[in-house]
Every structure is written in structure tokens, then in C-alpha cells.
């Protein structure tokens, strides 16, 4: 792969990750995609042609797997300009008092430990490369602001991602590493497909919710990524206009 602008996207084979990969490819970026399954990664790379792209099967919650991913990047490319911490899971919808430790840990591992591990490795690479620096974008959620019913694990991790973003942004200053966060509300994907039939609301009712094309999210990320490193979109929310987020729920 040519060492042009290099972007790493976790969860890059489906949903927002796939849409972002295709948008960045169109904008001239070379891509590294990480995910649990090789087939979606390969398909996204194929669809991103003629951009250079490689897919690496990775479990972001596993330190050795993440270290292998970054070793592959360093060996084959030698630098990294953008990390989009996108991989995550909503987990099992369950009453708080019925959520198991295993359910909790699975969500924390994917949504919080994963972004930390990737950020740590990206920091090492961005700190040491020449020219120094790069950009990290974290996929937050509107759940980084307000919860949905029965979502304590997901909501807790997304609030924590905001802390990860702030600390990364502060600690990255001395290395010319910028870090921002995109909070997404109801982008159409497999995770939001159930919203068509209705999802629990704060008042106890079940209602369908509007969704947006993930392309709108991808376009926002392309803009964030296009900025020079002395400018940063610290936080941005992209959401379905009429979803029940603004106002009393």
C-alpha cells in the first residue's frame, strides 16, 4: 500500500464503518479495515476500489489481536493518519436487575476497552512517525448524553467514551494528535433495524423511530478527517431530526 493518507476503521465491514470507508476512499484515503469477519471486510475493500485497502480480522477487545493489527499496519504501511474507533455493540436489552455480569462485560469490552486499546496503539504510532501526529475520531452516541430504557451497559460505555475522547484530546496535544467524537442518532444499520417495528420509549410505550442514511454520518467524518491537525471538531451530533432525543421523553 502506498503511504498516502492512511485511515484505520474498526467495524469497517458493515453499517457506519462501511459507509465511512467508502466515503474516505472516494476522498482519496487509503484504508485499513478491522472487524471480526473477513468476508465483509473484503467486500468493502472491493467496493472501495480503486483506493488501496486491506482488511484485518481483529477482536478489538483483545489486546493481542489489536497489537497484531497495528503491527500489520506498521510493517506494510509504516504510518497512520486517522483512526476511527467505530466497532461496538448494543448488547442485550434487559432490565437492570436482570443484566448478568457476562452481558455487562461483553459490552464494556467491545465499546470501551476496544477503543482504548486501539487508541493506545495509535498513540504509539502517531507519536513516533514523521511527520508526527494524526487524528482519532471516536464513535460516541446520543447515549453519551441520555439513555434508552434498559440500556445501562451501552449507556455507561458511551458516557465513558466521552471521557476517553477528552483525555485523548488533552494527552495528544504534545504529539500533534487531535481527537474528536461523533455522536450518532439512528443511522440505518443492522443495529437499528428493529426500530422499524418499534422500540421502548421513556414513557413505557413502544414506537417506531425515524432513521437517517449512514452516508450523512460518513460525510461528517470525512469533513472531520479533512481538517489540518491544528483544527478539531471536538464533538458533533448527527441524528434523525424527528427522533425522540430533543425535548421531554
Its pTM stands at 0.94
- For helices 152-171 and 101-108, the axis angle rounded to 10 degrees is 30
pLDDT in tens, 102-114: 999 999 999 999 9
On whether the CB atoms of residues 102 and 89 are closer than 8 A, the answer is no
On whether the CB atoms of residues 61 and 32 are closer than 8 A, the answer is no
The sign of the torsion formed by the CA atoms of 105, 90, 139, 16 equals positive
pLDDT on residue 131: 96
pLDDT on residue 248: 57
pLDDT on residue 93: 85
Positions in the chain whose pLDDT score sits under 50: 2
Beta strands in the chain (DSSP E): 6-10, 30-35, 53-57, 82-85, 134-139, 177-185, 199-200, 206-207, 235-239
pLDDT on residue 249: 54
- CATH assignment of 6-239, given 3.40.50.720, 3.40.30.10, 3.40.30.160, 3.40.1390.10? 3.40.50.720
pLDDT on residue 108: 98
Secondary structure (3-state) at 235: strand
Amino acid at each position: 500500500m502506498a503511504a498516502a493518507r492512511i485511515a484505520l476503521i474498526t467495524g469497517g465491514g458493515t453499517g457506519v464503518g462501511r459507509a465511512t470507508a467508502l466515503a474516505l476512499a472516494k476522498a482519496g484515503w487509503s484504508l485499513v479495515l478491522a472487524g471480526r469477519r473477513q468476508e465483509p471486510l473484503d467486500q468493502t475493500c472491493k467496493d472501495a476500489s480503486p483506493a488501496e485497502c486491506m482488511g484485518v480480522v481483529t477482536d478489538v477487545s483483545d489486546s493481542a489481536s489489536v497489537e497484531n493489527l497495528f503491527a500489520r499496519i506498521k510493517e506494510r504501511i509504516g504510518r497512520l493518519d486517522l483512526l476511527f474507533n467505530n466497532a461496538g455493540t448494543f448488547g442485550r436489552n434487559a432490565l437492570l436487575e436482570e443484566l448478568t455480569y457476562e452481558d455487562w462485560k461483553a459490552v464494556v469490552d467491545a465499546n470501551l476497552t476496544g477503543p482504548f486499546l486501539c487508541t493506545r496503539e495509535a498513540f504509539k504510532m502517531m507519536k513516533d512517525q514523521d511527520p508526527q501526529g494524526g487524528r482519532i475520531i471516536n464513535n460516541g452516541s446520543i447515549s453519551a448524553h441520555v439513555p434508552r430504557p434498559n440500556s445501562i451497559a451501552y449507556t455507561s460505555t458511551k458516557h465513558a467514551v466521552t471521557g476517553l475522547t477528552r483525555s485523548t484530546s488533552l494527552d495528544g496535544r504534545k504529539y500533534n494528535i487531535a481527537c474528536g467524537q461523533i455522536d450518532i442518532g439512528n443511522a440505518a444499520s443492522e443495529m437499528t433495524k428493529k426500530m422499524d417495528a418499534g422500540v421502548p420509549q421513556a414513557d413505557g410505550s413502544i414506537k417506531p423511530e425515524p432513521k437517517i442514511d449512514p452516508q450523512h454520518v460518513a460525510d461528517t467524518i470525512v469533513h472531520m478527517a479533512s481538517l489540518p491537525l491544528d483544527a478539531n471538531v471536538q464533538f458533533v451530533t448527527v441524528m434523525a431530526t424527528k427522533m425522540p432525543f430533543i425535548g421531554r421523553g
